């Protein structure tokens, strides 16, 4: 299927490793040029060089912290300054630390809101005016299944992420007539560095090791295994494409069947 992504320009935040990197790589394979972002310049530059080598696309590393409003505005400027347009925004960043209600003071909640909610708001508010100019755009926010069902021991994530769904859904209705489609993807358990951190935290609590936790979690997924970053990237790439031309305002679980709710 031709996804119509050749010649499109994407900005992928949180893209030096894990899910963001996999999405950037897949979008580039489909012919998009990309601005990739993360905080650590060294890892980001290495990732950008690898993706460029593998795909032959232009991959521009733009280091910065998406909790900063100025950084988000600069990222959009970099895309437009380099490629003359911005078609696809992938709003993504790291996850907040694991822990329950006893573990954190209010300041940690503020930081989680900055990391997972405000970064998405800031990136989208900067990107949408550029997409409006071309009357075509895709805003895709990477969150977590915690937007539909809280994940045990992740109170900060469970608190900060549902606001992303409220924001993206509202935005999707306001910009639909401008040709801009906005959706959320909600990963379950996908094998990345972030997941290893969560396994370590649970293992410590249970007095076991991370491999046992990984087995327990894999067994709790109907498909009997963790996801691979490229499986999430495939779904995101569909949403970014012309093929998703009547899909907006939706939240898609990419979770191997983990959640039990009907919707
Ligand atoms: N993997 C899963 O199973 C899963 C499940 C549910 C939700 N999620 C969520 O999905 C998102 C991506 O997950 P992942 O597994 O790919 O995580 P990851 O492996 O930790 O990768 C996070 C990426 O974001 C960058 N980053 C972190 N904080 C940033 C910031 N403030 N500004 C810019 N870039 C930032 C990191 O690079 P730097 O550190 O250099 O900035 C890295 O490139 C996270 O929010 C995670 O919590 C993941």
d(CA 132, CA 164): 21
Q: How far is the CA of 177 from the centre of ligand 1 (A)?
A: 31
| Mutation choice for ligand 1 from 94, 141, 142, 220, CB with most ligand atoms inside 8 A | 94
Predicted local confidence at residue 240, as pLDDT: 98
Q: In which band, very low, low, confident or very high, does the pLDDT at 1 lie, cut at 50, 70 and 90?
A: confident
Distance CA 192, CA 81 (A): 32
Please list every protein residue whose CB sits less than 6 Å from any atom of ligand 1: 13-20, 37-40, 43, 65-67, 92-95, 115, 142, 144, 187, 189-190, 192-195
The pLDDT assigned to 126 comes to 98
228 phi and psi angles, rounded to 5 deg: -105, 145
Q: What pLDDT is stored for residue 263 in this prediction?
A: 85
Q: What pLDDT shows up at residue 35?
A: 98
CA of 38 to the centre of ligand 1 (A): 9
In this predicted structure, what is the pLDDT of residue 197?
A: 86
Instruction: Check: CB of residue 1 under 8 Å from CB of residue 209.
Output: no
Domains of the chain: 9-190+228-253 (3.40.50.720), 191-226 (no CATH)
Of 168, 170, 144, the C-alpha closest to 156 is 144
What does the block give as tokens for 57? 């696309």
Instruction: List, in sequence order, every residue forming a beta bridge with 138; answer none if it has no partner.
Output: 88, 181
Q: Give the pLDDT of residue 245.
A: 97
pLDDT at residue number 112 = 98
Greater model confidence, 263 or 28 = 28
DSSP assignment of 56-109 equals: -S-EEE----TTSHHHHHHHHHHHHHHHS---EEEE---PPPPB-TTT--HHHH
Taking every pair of Cα atoms in the chain, the longest distance, rounded to a whole number of angstroms, is 55
Q: What is the pLDDT of residue 7?
A: 96
| pLDDT recorded at residue 226 | 97
Task: Please report which confidence band the pLDDT of residue 9 belongs to, taking 50, 70 and 90 as the band edges.
Answer: very high
- pLDDT at res. 89: 99
Intra-chain end-to-end CA distance of the chain, in Å: 28
Report H helices in the chain.
18-29, 41-55, 69-83, 106-112, 119-134, 155-160, 162-175, 193-206, 210-220, 229-240
CA 100, 159, 123, 51 dihedral sign is positive
Read off the pLDDT of each residue in 19-34 and give the average, rounded to a whole number: 98
| pLDDT at residue 105, rounded to an integer | 98
List pLDDT tens digits, range 138-175: 999 999 999 999 999 999 999 999 999 999 999 999 99
Q: What average pLDDT is seen over the chain? A: 97
Distances (CA, A) of 241 to 116, 184, 230: 24, 14, 16
- Choose one of 11, 12, 14 to mutate for the ligand 1 pocket test, by most ligand atoms within 8 angstroms of C-beta: 14
141 forms bridges with which residues in the sheet? 91, 184
* Res. 133: pLDDT tops 90: yes
Q: Which helix (H) or strand (E) holds 177?
A: none
Per-residue pLDDT tens over the stretch 213-248: 999 999 999 999 999 999 999 999 999 999 999 999
Ligand 1 pocket: which of 12, 15, 19 to mutate (most atoms within 8 A of CB) = 19
| CB-CB contact of 30 with 97 (8 Å) | no
Q: What pTM value is reported for the model?
A: 0.98
- Of the listed ranges 87-91, 105-109, 206-210, the one predicted with least confidence: 206-210
Region 53-67: what's the mean pLDDT?
98
DSSP state of 154: B
Predicted confidence at residue 44, as pLDDT, reads 98
CA neighbor of 189 nearest in space, from 213, 223, 217: 217
Does position 194 have pLDDT exceeding 90, yes or no?
Answer: no
Give, in degrees to the nearest 5, the angle at Cα 102 between 201 and 110: 90
The pLDDT score that the predictor gives to residue 205 is: 87
């Amino acid at each position: 299927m031709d996804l119509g992504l050749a010649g499109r320009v994407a900005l992928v935040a949180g893209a030096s490793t894990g899910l963001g990197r996999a999405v950037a790589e897949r979008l580039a394979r489909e012919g998009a040029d990309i601005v990739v972002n993360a905080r650590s310049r060294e890892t980001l530059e290495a990732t950008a060089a690898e993706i460029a080598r593998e795909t032959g696309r232009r991959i521009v590393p733009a280091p910065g912290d998406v909790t900063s409003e100025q950084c988000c505005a600069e990222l959009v400027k970099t895309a437009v300054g380099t490629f003359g347009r911005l078609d696809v925004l992938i709003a993504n960043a790291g996850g907040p630390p694991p822990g329950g209600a006893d573990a954190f003071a209010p300041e940690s909640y503020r930081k989680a809101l900055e990391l997972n909610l405000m970064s998405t708001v800031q990136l989208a508010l900067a990107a949408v005016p550029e997409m409006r100019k071309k009357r075509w755009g895709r805003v895709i926010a990477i969150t977590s299944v915690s937007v539909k069902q809280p994940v045990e021991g992740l109170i900060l994530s469970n608190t900060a992420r549902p606001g992303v769904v409220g924001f993206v859904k509202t935005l999707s209705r306001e910009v639909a007539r401008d040709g801009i489609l906005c959706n959320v993807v909600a990963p379950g358990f996908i094998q990345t560095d972030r997941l290893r951190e969560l396994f370590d935290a649970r293992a410590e609590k249970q007095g076991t090791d991370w491999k046992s936790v990984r087995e327990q979690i894999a067994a709790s997924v109907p498909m009997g295994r963790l996801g691979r970053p490229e499986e999430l990237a495939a779904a995101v790439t569909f949403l970014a494409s012309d093929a998703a031309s009547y899909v907006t305002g939706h939240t898609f679980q990419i979770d191997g069947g983990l959640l039990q709710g009907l919707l």
